[in-house]
Structure 1
Amino acid sequence: MAQLYDQDFYLWIEETHELLKNRKFDELDLENLLEEIAAMGRSEKRELKTRLVVIIEHLLKLMFWDEEREYNQRGWKITVTEQKYQLLVLLQDSPSLRSYLDEVFLSCYKSSVKILAAMDNFPINRIPETPPFSLEEIINE
C-alpha cells in the first residue's frame, strides 16, 4: 500500500477505503493515512482563512476606496456574498472550525491590509489598524 500511495494516489484512496470498509486494519498504510487525515484538517483551515481574507479585503474596498467604488462595487459585493456563502458552507460542514476563525481574524485582517497596500492608488492611509467590523458582523450581515 505504501508503494501505491506514491504511484497512484487515487487508487490508494480507493484501496484504503475498501480496507477500512472491510475492517482489514492490519493491511492499511497507516503512516500515509495519518498524514492525509492531518492534511485534510490543514486544508480546511487554510480555505477558511483564504475566504476570510478575501471577504475582508473587499469590505475594505467598499468602505474606503471611494475613487473605484462607483465602477467596482457591484463586483466587490458579489465577491463578498460568494465568499461568505462558501465560508458558511465550510462552517456548516465543520462547526468546530468556528473558534478557529476567532483565532485568525486579526491576522486575516492584517493580511488583507497588506494586499490592499500593494494596490496602486488604494488609500491605505485611511485603513484603521484595528478592524472597523467584527467577525460576527462579517458572518451575520
Structure 2
Amino acid sequence: MKTLYVSKEELKQLYNKDFPLWVEINLRFLKEKSYELVDWDNLIEEIEDMGRRDLDACISFLAVILEHMYKLDNFRGLAGGENAGKSWIKSIKNSRVRIHILFERYPSLKSKLPNELKTAWILARGRLKIWLINNNYNPDDFNIPTESPYSYQDAMEKDFNNS
C-alpha cells in the first residue's frame, strides 16, 4: 500500500470536509505504521466518542424511564381515560430491557450508568416540558423539580405490575 501524501494541516481539514476520506487516510497511516502522519487529536476525540456512544444510549433510556415515571406520578389526569399511563409503563419496561441488553454487551456500563442520573433527569425534564407544550400546557405551571425525584434504584426496579 503506497502512502498518500497529505500534509498534517490538509488532513485536519479533511476531518470536517470529508470525514470518510479522513478515516481512510488515517487508517492507511496506522496500517503502514506511519504514526507521525496520523491526525492524533481528532482520532483521539473519535475514540472517546465511540467509547461514550453506548453509555449515551443507556442515559437516553434512563431518561425515558424517569420521564414516564414522573408522568405516571403527576400527569395521569392530563392524559385522561381509563387506560392512562399504560403506554408509559410499557415504555419503562422496554427501556429497562434495552439497558440490560447493553449491560450484557458492555458490562462496564453497569457501574457507570448510576452516576448519570443527573444527566438523565436533565433530558427527562426537557422531554416533560416538550410534552406539556405539545399538549397545550405551560410547563412553568407544573414546577417540575430540577433534581430527580427518583433514585437510580427506583428507576431500574420499581414494580409497575399493579399500576
TM-score (norm 1): 0.67
Equivalent residue, structure 1, for 2:24: 14
CA 1:34–1:109 in 2, change beyond 3 Å: closer, same or farther? closer
Offset of 1:110 from its aligned partner?
Answer: 6.4
CA distance in 2, matches of 1:29, 1:101: 31
CA distance in 1, matches of 2:20, 2:58: 25
Report which of the two structures shows the higher radius of gyration computed on alpha carbons. 2
Offset of 1:101 from its aligned partner?
Answer: 1.6
Residue type at the aligned position of 2:115: E
Q: Mean alpha-carbon deviation: is it higher for 43-52 or for 109-118?
A: 109-118
CA 1:16–1:91 in 2, change beyond 3 Å: closer, same or farther? farther
Higher share of residues assigned helix: 1
Gaps in structure 2 of 5+ consecutive residues: 1-10
State the number of aligned residues. 139
Equivalent residue, structure 1, for 2:157: 137
CA distance in 2, matches of 1:137, 1:48: 15
Deviations 1:19-75, CA, capped at 9 Å, x for gaps: 334444333211110121223334444332222111111123234433236344342
Deviations 1:83-107, CA, capped at 9 Å, x for gaps: 3333233333332222222212255
Tell me if structure 2 keeps the 8 A contact 1:19–1:28: yes
- Counterpart selection for 1:100 from 101, 105, 112: 112
Equivalent residue, structure 1, for 2:98: 86
Secondary structure at the residue paired with 2:150?
A: coil
Q: Percent identity?
A: 28
